[in-house]
Amino acid sequence: MSRSFFLGTAIPYLNGVPHLGHALEWIYADVITRYQRQQGRQVRFSMGSDDHGQKVIRAAAASQRSPQQQTDVVLEVFQGLAQQLEVDYDTWTRTSSPAHHIAAQALWQRLAAAGALELRKYDGLYCIGCEAFKTEKDLTSDGLCPDHQVPPEPRSEQNYFFKLSSYQDQLLAYYEQHPQLVTPHEKYAEMKQFVAAGLEDVSFSRVKDETGWGVLVPDAPDQVMYVWCDALVNYLTAAGFPDNLESDGYWPADVIVVGKDINRFHSVLFTAMLLAADLPVPTQFAVHGHIMVNGQKMSKSLGNVIDPAQLIDRYGVEATRYLLLREVPFRSDGDVSLEQFDARYTADLCNGLGNLLSRTTNMIEKYAQGKINIKDQAVVGNADLRSLQDPYTEAISDYKFHLALEVIWQLIAQANQTIDDHKPWELAKTDTAAAVLILEGVGRDLLLIAHWLTPFMPQTAEIIIQALHAKPILKTQPLFPRLT
Ligand code: MSP
């Protein structure tokens, strides 16, 4: 039996439509899971939506909908985008679903039984953008939330608290024993520092408002759970908690993919919740950077979003995946622009990969009557292959997708170079067999390129494989139309 592999992505709030940042996170996650499936792992790829919280309640009120209607409408847009981007998830957890309510309440009860929760009066400042209480040291010198550039609102309530501060030592010890828990390294270092500086307890419930939207706190029906307390449980819900967690065999998660703005909620808060509840902690939190526009995070709250549909219209889905993965390295914040995407599209896709496939199939049709001998998985007659295999595997395993693509494009460049050097069109005039041999070698290169490309551009890879397995092989349509 193949080993199982569980990946979860952060679940977006459904207060507005998705933007490129969401698309990017899903594409990263999709590459990881497609790669794992290719390696023979039994994958559960979990996505979902954060239906609760004040952002959603406010957005619903602003569009004169109930929170249920609001999330129903927006959910379709999010799921439609995921499908369009070929993000091949297995489960979608809506936090408003009955199964999730059961899971969140079951976790709550475990926390309560462990003595990790306490009822207290609370006065504090709340940022709705972050869905988080803030202390003075979290704010700018003008008293604004640095991410949302608005002042947090004063709140005074009777809430349940999660006693996060009492888990400081346990967290630090856990970090010590699990050096791979958070990647990349510097994002882990930030968390260790944050925990070492001392933790504050977290308000974990709030008084239910007139919409009643949220997960009810067991034994305190006037309260709903704090949105993060409920949302973080989505990964457990997807893994079968509470009843089937063990029998499903997907927990602990292998990797949870999140943006750097919510690293703390996962690496610190969620980890502490799981330790307190005596449940296994995910093997890894993989923390990615942000897509930036003019040096600022692309975000709905800041109103500077690029609509993914705009890119899909211009480049097509597969090229959009490529451009995002190539231009925004997982670990860093990438400023994106259409000029940069256009240049990359033309150079790498039209002139690089697209040209390689069309001229190769064209010459196979012309000089070999469409019949050549390419065996699947055949070793490429290419001396440099061995030097490319390890860098490819290392890069993709370490979430350095831009580098894995760079390796594939080195192979594409080599294959194009082989054609330029040997000029099969000239060779065919005097020695057809020699020309065919060159084309067979390039055909095999193309099969390897397709194999390596599968997690990134699944349809393109499939088109290449089909084209080379066709009998007879015929000149293909351009893979990537030129931009107009
Ligand atoms: N609902 C919470 C997550 C709960 S997970 C238990 C949330 N939602 S969000 O819609 O604001 O963000 C969802 C994911 O998208 C997060 O991982 C976030 O980091 C990511 N991104 C949001 N803006 C982004 C960019 N500009 N660039 C890349 N990813 C971005 O937080």
Q: How far is CA 177 from each of CA 117, 180, 283, 389, 412, rounded to the nearest angstrom?
A: 26, 9, 12, 32, 42
Cβ contacts of 175 within 8 Å, gap of 6 or more? 181, 188, 191, 192, 195
pLDDT at 382: 54
Cβ contacts of 454 within 8 Å, gap of 6 or more? 34, 38, 461
Do 194 and 260 contact (CB within 8 A), yes or no?
Answer: no
Two structure tokens written together for 217: 């706190």
48 lines ligand 1 (CB under 6 A): no
Distance 133 CA to ligand 1 centre (A): 18
Identified catalytic residue from 288, 290, 300, 400: 300
442 lines ligand 1 (CB under 6 A): no
pLDDT at 2: 67
- Ligand 1 atom closest to residue 235's alpha carbon, by position in its atom list: 6
- The question of whether 422 is a catalytic residue gets the answer no
Residue 23 amino acid letter: A
What number of other Cβ atoms are within 10 A of residue 23's Cβ?
25
The interaxial angle of helices 317-327 and 458-469, nearest 10 deg, is: 120
pLDDT for residue 381 is more than 90: no
pLDDT at 376: 47
Closest C-alpha to ligand 1, atom 7:
12
User: Which of 16, 25, 21 is CA-nearest to residue 129?
Assistant: 16
Q: Phi and psi of 256, rounded to 5°?
A: -115, 125
Higher pLDDT pick, 54 / 363: 363
Do 15 and 74 contact (CB within 8 A), yes or no?
Answer: yes
CA 394 to chain centre: 19
Do 395 and 384 contact (CB within 8 A), yes or no?
Answer: no
- The question of whether 178 is a catalytic residue gets the answer no
pLDDT for residue 20 is more than 80: yes
User: Which of 471, 457, 470 is CA-nearest to residue 353?
Assistant: 457
User: Which of 348, 342, 333 is CA-nearest to residue 310?
Assistant: 342
In the chain, the N- to C-terminal Cα span, in Å, equals 50
Closest C-alpha to ligand 1, atom 16:
259
- The question of whether 19 is a catalytic residue gets the answer yes
Q: What pLDDT digit, counting tens, does each position of 40-94 carry? A: 999 999 999 999 988 999 999 999 999 999 999 999 999 999 999 999 999 999 9
Q: Enumerate the H helices of 206-349 as residue ranges.
A: 227-231, 234-238, 245-248, 263-264, 271-276, 308-315, 317-327, 338-344
- The question of whether 350 is a catalytic residue gets the answer no
pLDDT at 384: 65
What number of other Cβ atoms are within 10 A of residue 196's Cβ?
12
pLDDT at 33: 98
Q: Phi/psi zone of residue 2: left (φ > 0), alpha (ψ -120 to 50 degrees), beta?
A: beta
What's the whole-number mean pLDDT along residues 332-359? 94
> Confidence band (pLDDT; 50, 70, 90) for 378?
very low
pTM over cut 0.75: yes
Cβ contacts of 188 within 8 Å, gap of 6 or more? 175, 179, 181, 182, 267
**Biggest CA pair distance of the chain:** 90
Q: What pLDDT digit, counting tens, does each position of 272-320 carry? A: 999 999 999 999 999 999 998 778 877 777 777 778 999 999 999 999 9
Q: Which long-range contacts link 463-470 to residues 24+ away (Cβ below 8 Å)?
A: 464/357, 467/357, 467/361, 468/361, 468/374, 468/443, 470/370
Q: Enumerate the H helices of 178-241 as residue ranges.
A: 185-196, 227-231, 234-238
22 lines ligand 1 (CB under 6 A): yes
Higher pLDDT pick, 266 / 121: 266
Q: What pLDDT digit, counting tens, does each position of 234-279 carry? A: 999 999 999 999 999 999 999 999 999 999 999 999 999 999 999 9
pLDDT at 377: 46
Cβ contacts of 39 within 8 Å, gap of 6 or more? none
pLDDT at 373: 85
pLDDT at 158: 86
What's the whole-number mean pLDDT along residues 419-424? 95
Q: How far is CA 207 from each of CA 157, 217, 373, rounded to the nearest angstrom?
A: 7, 10, 71
CA–CA separation, 291 and 296 (whole Å): 8
CA–CA separation, 438 and 360 (whole Å): 10
pLDDT at 133: 86
C-alpha radius of gyration, the chain, whole number = 26
Closest C-alpha to ligand 1, atom 13:
12
298 lines ligand 1 (CB under 6 A): yes
- The question of whether 300 is a catalytic residue gets the answer yes
H or E segment to which residue 170 belongs: helix 168-177
pLDDT for residue 474 is more than 70: yes
What percentage of the chain has pLDDT greater than the value 70?
98
> Confidence band (pLDDT; 50, 70, 90) for 1?
low
H or E segment to which residue 111 belongs: helix 98-113
CA–CA separation, 24 and 31 (whole Å): 11
pLDDT at 137: 87
Q: What pLDDT digit, counting tens, does each position of 172-222 carry? A: 999 999 999 999 999 999 999 999 999 999 999 998 988 999 999 998 989
CA–CA separation, 476 and 468 (whole Å): 10
Mean per-residue pLDDT over the chain, rounded: 94
50 lines ligand 1 (CB under 6 A): yes
pLDDT at 304: 78
